[in-house]
């Protein structure tokens, strides 16, 4: 992508490129999480590269068909389907007419079309109508569920890559490949590969039932856990818990999920990609019909449930279903609608602006109505579909809304909507979101518990160290074609006795063995980090190339840092009062809540800036957040074009 | 079952790369302006620096 | 008797999750337990009683999304 785009390339210029790659380890059957891909493009929301990690069978199939990476650029004149047939060794481009418009039906139709007899051979990448009308179109990556005899899909959700896809008039990319075995990657050491695969798979099978039980509940166990730790977004990230949250967590979903094997890659023993059979939506084009819903994951429950004040398991399923069918990122949809709801409740926008819709928190019918409008590009939904950054501008300019307040409550950074964790009490996670390359997506770092609950990183330097190590290591999974869940969502029984339990040393060792076994490059756990660091810094320089990538862009809205309003402050009054008194040595007896909000804000905003200083130093960046010459040289990414971008930005 | 109409506008046969230790060392590029399908080798240097890469 | 991570242990009256954890080693990273099938998180450890014949699993660490 670096070579294809210039610093001026916009997301909808023909030069913008969509790349799908699956890494050397991707496509290993039986290795937990062994089949993922990374999709990249310039994001319509941020203007810089977005990278999105996704399951399904496409990545491995296209690799075994002969390609480490697929690159799609330019724009077609009519709807196009790209077909990579790894069985016949043919690549075909088709003009497509009269295709089903939604991704749910389209994935099924194309799977059957391209291999009627053995649909398991086919994986389809599609966008949906949401991609044509919003900036947060996602991509659906399918696989054939042999047990249930139906198509399933996971999403490359963040950043609007589906929107780019649709803008290029690509309706689908299809890959077809046959039988896969451990030999398919032609590993350097097949026996070593079999051994480490068996070890990791077996451990997960034994321990998952005693730990998070992801093979039964997926990621819905996180709902009660986050709620009880005051980290579950409620009403646009105002609050961290709600008494009704128990109806939207694992307790309920465990019983609604359809029983059966739910791996998004073959033989994965985490098998957490659950769904609901025979679900009947009460709105929209599938109203009254029976559908299969893939999900929900925690992010969807929180983003499209609690954050919107919707505490109803059925509604969340319906939102999940339509977002998938329309090809919309549930995180951006949820966080955007939450913003709109708070604006509505504060009279920044009224029914005059919202097509008469009451958008108070909890109004589930209108939340669904907005989503249907997004798919059609109609009404108020079409405005919501532009994302929070654009909505703030529109609301201020056209509706006279208070920009300062919207900046505080609009949960976006770098133009991308936040994913679903309350970070007010975790400075490390504020950094985890604000200092992430792509925008506030938790795949780079998830440090809330280590920080807030276990106090594992008390100093700025500790936090900076974590904000170096974890993003680097988590990046590694994507680069290799792997899912990170088996690394630390299920851990060995003796893990707590190890030196740094958060790093899960035994699994680091296995991943190093896995890497060595396939690629033949002998590696230890330390080497894995070094591999990612070059890519990570290169991506930072890429952001710089596109006109961003500096300190000012690493800001976060104050709602992510502390209580914006008196209502929020008073909801956790004791906590905040204690902090002002004990941590900051203030005498608060004469202070009103409004004064206290302001005092706390000043302290917290200062802290966030200090965190930036510490993190930049640790990462080998300037105080303006730019990788130094020394750093890029050390990492072997001192290509002439990189040096030029640095020079242009005053770094020599 | 819904009938779909696909009109083939370009097709190539290719020689499938042999996978070595997790890599095919090939990238597939589809340019939609010209409806071009091209296959490029991936340099060793790129592979070593970027592992699997993000495109 | 209660069962803690598949080991039998003595139960005592007025036992809470917090008091149980105090008798165990190496539980710093335990922020969540499963008590008789239900997840209970650390802010509630002190106020959550453990009845006799309960089954408890200590969840190792919460790794998040």
Domain coordinates in residue numbering, chain A: 18-176, 219-256+274-417, 427-436+445-472+526-648
Q: Do B11 and A81 touch (CB under 8 A)?
A: no
Give chain B positions within 8 Å (CB) of A479: 50-54
Measured between CA atoms, the residue of chain A closest to residue B1 is: A109
The CATH number given to A18-176 is: 3.60.9.10
Q: What is the value of ipTM here, to two decimals?
A: 0.95
Residue A345's pLDDT is what? 98
C19 Cβ contact list (under 8 Å, min separation 6): none
Cβ density class A568-599: b for 16+ within 10 Å, e for less? bbebbeeebbebbeeeeebebeeeebeebbeb
How confident is the model over A382-399, as pLDDT tens digits? 999 999 999 999 999 999
> 């009704």: which residue's tokens?
A244
Spans of all domains in chain C: 2-59
The answer to whether A87 contacts chain B (CB < 8 Å) is no
Where b means 16+ CB within 10 Å and e means fewer, A630-643 reads: ebbebbebeeeebb
Q: How far is C62 from chain A (nearest CA, A)?
A: 7
Q: Is C10 on the interface with A (CB under 8 A)?
A: no
Q: Which of residues 490-549 of A touch B (CB under 8 A)?
A: 518-520, 531-532, 534-535, 538-539
B23/A24 Cβ within 8 A: yes
Tokens of A93: 């481009």
Choosing among A19, A93, A126, which should be mutated to test the B contact, i.e. which has the most B CBs within 10 A?
A93
- Hey, is the C-beta of A228 within 8 angstroms of any chain C C-beta? yes
Contact: A75, B5; criterion CB under 8 Å: no
Query: Quick one: pLDDT band at residue A143, thresholds 50, 70, 90?
Result: very high
The structural domains of chain B, with segments of one domain joined by +, span: 18-50
**Helices A427-434, A593-619: crossing angle, 10 deg rounding:** 60
Q: Is A625 left (phi over 0), alpha (psi -120 to 50) or beta?
A: left
The pLDDT assigned to A485 comes to: 92
Statement: residue B48 has pLDDT above 80: no
- Would you state the pLDDT for residue B54? 57
pLDDT band at A499 (very low <50, low <70, confident <90, very high): confident
How far, in Å, CA of A605 to CA of A617, rounded? 19
Instruction: Answer whether A224 sits within 8 Å of C63, measured CB to CB.
Output: no
Sort out which chain A residues have CB atoms less than 8 A from B11's CB and list them.
90-93
Q: How far apart, in whole angstroms, are the C-alpha atoms of residue A56 and residue A175?
A: 11
Mean pLDDT within A342-349: 98
Q: Coil, strand, or helix at residue A382?
A: helix
For residue A544, what are its two tokens?
A: 């710089």
CA A556, CA A408: separation in Å to the nearest integer?
9
| Res A1: pLDDT | 81
Would an 8 Å CB–CB cutoff place A140 in contact with chain C? Answer: no
Q: Which of A160-164, A349-353, A543-547, C27-31 comes out lowest in average pLDDT?
A: C27-31
For residues A128 and A100, give the distance between their C-alpha atoms in angstroms, rounded to a whole number. Answer: 10
Burial of A289 (C-beta count, 10 Å sphere; 0-12/13-18/19+) = exposed
Between A283 and B55, where is the model more confident?
Answer: A283
- Please state whether at least 3 CB pairs lie below 8 Å between chains A and C: yes
A63 touches chain B (CB under 8 A): yes
Nearest to A518 by CA among A188, A286, A164: A188
Q: Which two tokens stand for residue A539?
A: 């991506």
- CB contact (8 A) between residue A535 and residue B30: no
Distance from CA of A174 to the nearest CA of B (A): 13
pLDDT in tens, A591-620: 999 999 999 999 999 999 999 999 999 999
CB within 8 Å: C29 and A446: no
Residue A194 has pLDDT above 90, yes or no: yes
Contact between C62 and A496 using a beta-carbon 8 Å cutoff = no
Starting at the earlier edge strand, list the strands of the sheet with A37-42: A49-54, A37-42, A18-21, A69-73, B26-31, B36-41
Question: In this model, does residue A351 exceed pLDDT 60?
Answer: yes
What is the DSSP code (8-state) at residue A248? G
Query: Residue A334: what pLDDT?
Result: 98
A19/B55 touch (CB, cutoff 8 Å), yes or no = yes
CB atoms within 10 A of CB A110: 28
Say what angle helices A313-326 and A364-376 make with each other, to 10 degrees.
0
Cβ–Cβ of C41/A251 closer than 8 Å? no
Give mean pLDDT, residues A100-120: 96
Percent of chain A with pLDDT over 70: 100
Q: List the CATH code of the domain at C2-59.
A: 3.10.20.30
Q: Which residues of C touch A221 (CB under 8 A)?
A: 39
- List the subunits that have 3+ CB pairs under 8 angstroms with A: B, C
* CB-based contact, A84 to chain B, within 8 Å: yes
Q: Is the domain defined by A219-256+274-417 classed in CATH 1.10.569.10? A: yes
Nearest CA to B43 out of B27, B21, B19 is that of B27
Residues of chain A with pLDDT > 90, as a percent, come to 92
Nearest residue of B to residue A18, measured between CA atoms: B55
Across the interface, whether the CB atoms of A38 and B52 are under 8 A apart is answered yes
Q: Which residues pair with B41 in a beta bridge?
A: B26
3-state secondary structure (DSSP) of residue A617: helix
Q: Are A94 and B34 in contact (CB < 8 Å)?
A: no
Chains with 3+ CB–CB pairs under 8 A to C are: A
> Mean pLDDT, chain A, as a whole number?
95
Q: Which of C26, C40, C57 sits opposite A496 (nearest CB)?
A: C26
pLDDT in tens, A464-491: 999 999 999 899 988 899 999 999 999 9
- A68/B27 Cβ within 8 A: yes
Q: Are B21 and A187 a contacting pair, CB within 8 Å? A: yes
Using an 8 Å CB-CB cutoff, list chain A residues near C31: 225, 229, 449, 453-454
Confidence check: pLDDT of A415 > 70: yes
A93 neighbourhood in chain B, CB within 8 Å: 8-11, 30, 35, 37
Per-residue pLDDT at B53 exceeds 60: no
User: Is the confidence at residue A3, as pLDDT, over 90?
Assistant: no
Q: Do C41 and A229 touch (CB under 8 A)?
A: yes
* Residue A114 binned pLDDT confidence (cut-offs 50, 70, 90): very high
* Beta strand segments in A43-89, E: 49-54, 69-73, 80-85
Q: Is B52's pLDDT higher than 80?
A: no
Q: Tens of pLDDT along A203-249?
A: 999 999 999 999 999 999 999 999 999 999 999 999 999 999 999 99
| CB nearest to A70's CB, from B20, B28, B33 | B28
Assess whether chains B and A touch, using the rule of 3 or more C-beta pairs within 8 angstroms. yes
Answer whether C touches B (≥3 Cβ pairs < 8 Å).
no
Q: Could you tell me what percentage of chain B is helix, strand and coil, using 3-state DSSP and rounding each to the nearest 5?
A: 15, 40, 45
User: If you search the block for the tokens 């000043």, which residue do you land on?
Assistant: A602
Phi and psi angles of residue A419, each rounded to the nearest 5 degrees, phi first:
-85, 180
Please check whether residue C43 touches A, CB under 8 A. Answer: yes
Q: How far is A334 from chain C (nearest CA, A)?
A: 16
* DSSP H or E run through C59: strand C55-59
Query: What b-and-e string marks burial along A438-452, b requiring 16 or more CB atoms within 10 Å of the CB?
Result: bbbbbbbbbbbbbbb
Q: How far is B44 from chain A (nearest CA, A)?
A: 13
CB contact under 8 A, A225 and C65: no
Q: Which of A265, A513, A23, A60 is nearest to B23 (CA)?
A: A23
Q: State whether A453 and C42 contact (CB < 8 Å).
A: yes
Residues in contact with A348: Cβ distance below 8 Å, sequence separation at least 6, in sequence order = A395, A399, A401, A402, A405, A406
| Alpha carbon distance A535, A260 (integer Å) | 38
- In this predicted structure, what is the pLDDT of residue B1? 55
Instruction: List chain A residues with CB under 8 Å of C21.
Output: none
Cα A160 from Cα A40, distance rounded (Å): 10
Nearest CA in chain A to C58: A211
- Structure confidence at residue A413 as a pLDDT band (50, 70, 90): very high
In whole angstroms, give the CA distance from residue A611 to residue A36.
Answer: 32
């Amino acid at each position: 992508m670096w070579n294809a785009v210039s610093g001026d390339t916009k997301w909808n210029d023909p030069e913008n490129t969509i790349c799908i790659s699956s890494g050397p380890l991707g496509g290993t059957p039986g290795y937990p999480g062994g089949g993922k891909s990374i999709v990249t493009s310039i994001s319509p929301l941020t203007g810089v590269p977005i990278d999105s990690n996704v399951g399904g069978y496409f990545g491995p199939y296209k690799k075994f068909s002969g390609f480490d990476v697929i690159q799609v650029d330019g724009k077609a004149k009519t709807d196009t389907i790209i077909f990579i047939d790894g069985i016949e060794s043919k690549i075909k481009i088709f003009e497509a007419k009269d295709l089903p418009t939604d991704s749910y039906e389209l994935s099924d139709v194309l799977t059957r079309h391209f291999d009627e007899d053995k649909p398991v051979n086919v994986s389809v990448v599609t966008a949906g109508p949401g991609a044509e009308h919003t900036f947060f179109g996602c991509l659906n990556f399918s696989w054939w569920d042999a047990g249930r005899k139906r198509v399933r899909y996971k999403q490359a959700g963040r950043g609007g890559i589906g929107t780019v896809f649709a803008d290029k008039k690509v309706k689908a990319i299809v890959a077809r490949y046959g039988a896969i075995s451990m030999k398919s990657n032609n590993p350097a050491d097949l026996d070593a590969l079999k051994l480490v695969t068996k070890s990791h798979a077996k451990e997960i099978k034994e321990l998952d039932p005693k730990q998070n039980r992801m093979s039964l509940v997926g990621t819905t166990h996180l709902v009660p856990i986050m709620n009880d730790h005051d980290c579950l977004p409620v009403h646009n990230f105002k609050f961290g818990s709600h008494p009704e949250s128990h109806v939207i967590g694992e307790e309920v979903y465990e019983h609604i999920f359809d029983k059966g094997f739910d791996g998004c890659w073959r033989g994965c023993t985490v098998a957490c990609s659950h769904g609901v059979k025979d679900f009947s939506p009460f709105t929209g084009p599938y109203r009254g019909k029976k559908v299969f819903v893939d999900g929900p994951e925690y992010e969807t429950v929180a983003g499209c449930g609690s954050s919107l004040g919707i505490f109803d398991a059925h509604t969340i399923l319906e939102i999940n279903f339509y977002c998938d069918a329309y090809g919309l990122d549930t995180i951006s949809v949820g966080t955007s609608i939450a913003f709109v709801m708070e604006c509505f409740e504060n009279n920044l926008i009224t029914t005059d602006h919202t097509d008469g819709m009451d958008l108070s928190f909890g109004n589930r019918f209108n939340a669904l109505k907005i989503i249907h409008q997004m798919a059609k590009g109609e009404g108020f939904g079409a405005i919501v579909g532009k994302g929070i950054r654009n909505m703030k501008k529109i609301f201020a300019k056209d509706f006279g809304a208070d920009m300062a307040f919207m900046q505080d409550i609009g949960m976006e950074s770098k133009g991308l909507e936040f994913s679903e964790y309350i970070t007010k009490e975790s400075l490390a996670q504020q950094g985890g979101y604000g200092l992430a390359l792509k925008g506030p997506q938790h795949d780079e770092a998830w440090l809330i518990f280590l920080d807030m609950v276990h106090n594992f990183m008390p100093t700025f330097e500790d936090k900076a160290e974590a904000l170096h190590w974890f993003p680097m290591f988590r990046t590694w999974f994507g680069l290799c074609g792997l899912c990170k869940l088996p690394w630390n969502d299920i851990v060995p029984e003796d893990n707590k006795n190890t030196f740094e339990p958060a790093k899960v040393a035994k699994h680091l060792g296995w991943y190093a063995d896995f890497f060595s076994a396939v690629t033949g490059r002998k590696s230890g756990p330390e080497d894995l980090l070094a591999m990612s660091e070059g890519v990570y810094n290169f991506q930072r320089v890429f952001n710089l190339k596109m006109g961003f990538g500096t300190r000012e862009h690493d800001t976060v809205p104050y709602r992510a840092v502390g209580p914006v309003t008196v209502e929020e402050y008073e909801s956790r009054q004791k906590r905040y009062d204690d902090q002002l008194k004990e941590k900051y040595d203030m005498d608060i007896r004469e202070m009103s809540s409004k004064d206290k909000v302001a005092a706390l804000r000043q302290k917290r905003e200062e802290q966030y800036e200090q965190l930036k200083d510490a993190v930049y130093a640790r990462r080998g960046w300037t105080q303006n957040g730019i990788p130094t010459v020394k750093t890029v040289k050390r990492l072997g990414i001192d290509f002439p074009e990189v040096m030029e971008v640095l020079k242009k930005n005053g770094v020599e | 079952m819904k009938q779909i109409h696909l009109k083939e506008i370009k097709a190539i046969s290719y020689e499938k790369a042999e996978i070595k230790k997790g890599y095919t060392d090939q990238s597939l590029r589809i340019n939609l302006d010209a409806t071009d399908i091209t296959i490029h080798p991936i340099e060793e240097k790129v592979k070593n620096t970027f592992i699997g890469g993000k495109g | 008797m209660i069962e803690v991570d598949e080991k039998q242990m003595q139960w005592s009256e007025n036992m809470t999750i917090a008091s149980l954890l105090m008798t165990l080693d190496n539980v710093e990273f335990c922020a969540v337990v499963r008590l008789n099938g239900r997840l209970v998180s650390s802010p509630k450890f002190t106020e959550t009683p453990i009845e006799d014949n309960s089954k408890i699993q200590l969840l190792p660490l919460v790794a998040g999304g």
